[in-house]
Structure 1
Amino acid sequence: MKTSRRSFLAASAGTAAFSILPSPTVFARDKSATDEELNRAATRPVLDRNPFKEPVIIESIELLRKGKEHFVRVRSKDGAEGISVDDGRMNILHPILNRQVIPVFIGKDARDLEELLWEVYRHDSNYKLQGLPFWVPVALVEFAILDLLGRIANKPLGELLGGVIRKTMPFYVASGRRDTTPEQEIDYLKSLVEETGAKGIKYRVGGRMSRNADAMPGRTDKLIPLTRKTFGDKFAIHADANSSYDDPKQAIRVGRMLEDIKAEFFEEPCPFDNFDTTRQVTDALKIPIALGEQESSHWRFQAQIRDRVADIAQPDLYYYGGLIRSIRVARMAELRDMPTTPHLSGGFGFVYSAHFASCVPNIGPWQEYKQGVKTYGQWFNPPMRIVDGALTVPEGPGVGIADPKEILKGADVVKE
């Protein structure tokens, strides 16, 4: 077992002091946690119920569509409203939302949200739908209920989920391309940095669940050193293999190249559900390994953390079922001195990532971003902005959208 690894926690302890040097403090990997300790951390209440003295009974939940966007709107019997914004999958997942998820919440007290997340999992054998198709609809309902509660309490989401400890979110900008030559990818990454002011990047290596094949011959081997040469020594570089390497030896070889350029982390090097090969890579490398984007099971996340399958927990706030479940992952990871850096599936998700970053201590120094401010930034008052490579966290109540009724004007209800 190796004894040193880049420490994301040291960089993320403050509210604004994030180093951009590619040599974070190293730390020992021998901090262990038992299942009993992990269970205790995960089962502590997340939602602060104190601002709500009376029941908040949910009267209706609706899926709405406006253009290409889908929204969930929740209303209480007292007339309060909250909304959430889809990540682009409700065009195929709406039957699960409408038939299997929404009915569980109607007539229930929104203050019992944490227990309702368990009840919806059990309802009508929904656990047999375990995975993204089930948990994305649940996340949309959770986000909308949290928005409702935040508006009632006149508090941003972070205040309801542990307390706001930072008001900006330093980010890396992510490329999602593999159709580029190394030179073309460099040009594309430069354009992303120029547009966003990012001080970090993430690009894709390998071929994406490709059984060890590269996206094009020699692309990865040439791209990795070229990124450091192009962006300089003080730029934060991340790489995502998207489960490219069935053979851990291949993943380790690529990881060594990333170590040579002092990259920040290596994401999902091996098939995401093969913990054995991923741990071989983790144990062989010094660069932190990130894993968790595809995870939907609390117990598998707990095993991943307990057994140190990877170094960074990476739930997707949509795929994993929302903020509350993801905060539970972060609490478990903290016991093993591991950061939790959410995966971003795109669209409006960066807003939920910002709220997560506002209240979770162990997030790591950089969060993922995919240019959402130009589409959604003006929905907020004050507008979300990029300042010195960091996103401002919305300050308004709930998720912070200034005028939800205006956003939803002209939207149609989706029943089936």
Structure 2
Amino acid sequence: MKIKRVEAWWVRIPITEANQHRSDFGQVTTFDAAILRVETDDGIVGWGEGKNAAGSAGAYGALVHLLNHEVAPQLIGRDPRDINDIWELLYNGVRHRAASASGHAMPQLSRRGLSLAAISAVDLALWDIFGKSLDQPVWRLLGGRKAERMRAYASGGWANAETIGQQLLGYIEKGGFRAVKMRVGAMDAAPHVSAARVRAARAAVGPDVELMVDAHGTFTVADAKRFARLVEDQNLAWFEEPVIGDDKSGMAEVRAGSTIPIAAGESETTRFDFRDMAVLKAADIFQPDLAFCGGITEAMRISAIASAFNLRLAPHLWAGAPAFYAGLHVCAASPASFIIEYSLGANPMLHDLVEEDVDLGCGTIAIPDRPGLGVTVSESFLKAHAVKV
């Protein structure tokens, strides 16, 4: 089996005005991603997704160009089942043979950002092909699944203090969730405003629903500590990205100064970043984004670090269908996983791009049994929403 064709598109899907929300990212009017199609010489197609922008919107011209003009030529003629070797080829660049022979990484200088987003997209597509070639779901190739369904939390929560309770109760009613996440931080201008919204949310959902908060890395260390102190009595399940990922020592300071578990990692790439968080004691919960961290291959390595440090795994799954379903397979196979993120914001990249529906019920999501990632991409829909680059 050989890779015959590789093609990526910048896919931009408009969000209707009624379904838009505003956060620290601004008004979200489209859902954007780089979607990758890899085809083998025997007709098997694998799908991948790469992300390089905040939230669900952003520009993907550079990533798509990288995939089509620099990455694709390196893949043509390769066996798509050589997943680890291809990962190391793309990560180590011209030194990949020396790195392989010596048994340690010798990454190219551009080992972060767009390079890892491209590697992630390729990796997801190769695992999809591998599963389809064996007529098996990816989770089985990763060692099996620990459950047929896993608990999920509703991810959203942008409303003000007066209406946040109503918004979160709507999530609970819609999907039977017993865990919900809301946004805090820069969108509120000050820690006490975020804290007031959290108190309103807790009063509305009651003591038995798990409540998480996500600052998107927008607090300073001082303000993150102030906010944590103000909501210390609200029994939060976690405080996500209190400060930017570049300030891991600051994140460790926030964690040391609060009893609220710290979750982080959606902006991190590779096992090395997560190793640093573990060693610095900066987080309790790892949240790799499979369209950015290095794909399924690297997410499983990150999962091993979480398990070794007795930490937990809850991947960042605000994503399109390829990355979301990849996250389901990783969660099913990882001993450190415990909950799945499910977007309650408008997400046409998850619901409209593919033929399958997410099997959501009673606050749980089914792990797919279908071969590969378990998604069937509508190529006509994809091409109808492709941006010319």
Per the shorter chain, which TM-score range? 0.7 to 0.9
Identity percentage of aligned residues? 26
Which residue number in structure 1 is paired with residue 351 of structure 2? 375
Give the aligned CA root-mean-square deviation in angstroms. Answer: 2.7
Question: 1:10-409 to 2 correspondence within 5 Å?
Answer: 56-64=1-9, 68=13, 71-85=35-49, 90-123=60-93, 127-175=108-156, 177=158, 180-207=159-186, 214-215=188-189, 218-248=192-222, 250-348=223-321, 349-364=323-338, 366-371=339-344, 375-376=351-352, 379-380=355-356, 383-401=357-375, 403-404=376-377, 407-409=378-380
Deviations 1:340-389 (A, max 9, x none): 1111233324322212211111113x321104598259723xx4321210
Which residue number in structure 2 is paired with residue 14 of structure 1? none
Deviations 1:138-197 (A, max 9, x none): 2221111111111110110101122122221211111163xx421133332233333333
Distance 2:125 2:192 in 1: 46
Which residue number in structure 1 is paired with residue 102 of structure 2? none
Cα 1:286/1:396, change in 2 over 3 Å? same
Distance 1:245 1:67 in 2: 30
Provide the secondary structure at the position in 2 that maps to 1:110.
Answer: coil
Task: Tell me how far 1:306 sits from its aligned partner.
Answer: 2.3
Contact 1:246–1:270 (8 Å) recurs in 2: yes
Q: Which amino acid aligns with 2:259?
A: K
TM-score, length basis structure 2: 0.81
Deviations 1:179-234 (A, max 9, x none): x42113333223333333322111112216xxxxx436842121122111110111
Contact 1:334–1:362 (8 Å) recurs in 2: yes
Provide the secondary structure at the position in 2 that maps to 1:182.
Answer: coil
Provide the secondary structure at the position in 2 that maps to 1:128.
Answer: coil
Provide the secondary structure at the position in 1 that maps to 2:109.
Answer: helix
Contact 1:150–1:397 (8 Å) recurs in 2: yes
Task: Tell me how far 1:67 sits from its aligned partner.
Answer: 6.9
Cα 1:65/1:270, change in 2 over 3 Å? closer
Q: Which amino acid aligns with 1:408?
A: E
Cα 1:291/1:378, change in 2 over 3 Å? closer
Deviations 1:267-287 (A, max 9, x none): 111222112211111112222
Provide the secondary structure at the position in 1 that maps to 2:47.
Answer: strand
Contact 2:49–2:291 (8 Å) recurs in 1: no
Contact 2:9–2:64 (8 Å) recurs in 1: no
Contact 1:384–1:393 (8 Å) recurs in 2: no
Cα 1:294/1:67, change in 2 over 3 Å? closer
Q: Which amino acid aligns with 1:171?
A: A
Q: Which amino acid aligns with 1:83?
A: W
Task: Tell me how far 1:117 sits from its aligned partner.
Answer: 0.8
Distance 1:204 1:411 in 2: 30
TM-score, length basis structure 1: 0.76
Task: Tell me how far 1:307 sits from its aligned partner.
Answer: 2.7
Task: Tell me how far 1:409 sits from its aligned partner.
Answer: 3.7
Q: Which amino acid aligns with 1:103?
A: P
Distance 2:220 2:191 in 1: 17
Deviations 1:259-312 (A, max 9, x none): 311111111112221122111111122221112111124322212112322111
Distance 2:163 2:6 in 1: 46
Distance 2:84 2:90 in 1: 10
Provide the secondary structure at the position in 2 that maps to 1:104.
Answer: helix
Q: Which amino acid aligns with 1:375?
A: H
Task: Tell me how far 1:123 sits from its aligned partner.
Answer: 2.2
Distance 2:248 2:90 in 1: 28
Deviations 1:82-139 (A, max 9, x none): 2235666644521111123222222112222112111112226983333332222222
**Structure of greater relative contact order (alpha carbons < 8 Å, 6+ residues apart):** 1
Contact 1:98–1:415 (8 Å) recurs in 2: no
Which segment is superposed worse, 94-103 or 387-396? 94-103
Which residue number in structure 2 is paired with residue 4 of structure 1? none
Contact 2:191–2:227 (8 Å) recurs in 1: no
Provide the secondary structure at the position in 1 that maps to 2:108.
Answer: helix
Q: Which amino acid aligns with 1:185?
A: I
Higher strand share: 2
Cα 1:269/1:171, change in 2 over 3 Å? same
Distance 2:168 2:286 in 1: 25
Segments of 4+ in structure 1 off by > 6 A? none
Provide the secondary structure at the position in 1 that maps to 2:297.
Answer: helix
Contact 1:258–1:287 (8 Å) recurs in 2: no
Distance 1:223 1:206 in 2: 11
Unaligned runs of 5+ in 1: 1-55, 209-213
Distance 1:254 1:217 in 2: 5
Contact 2:154–2:171 (8 Å) recurs in 1: yes
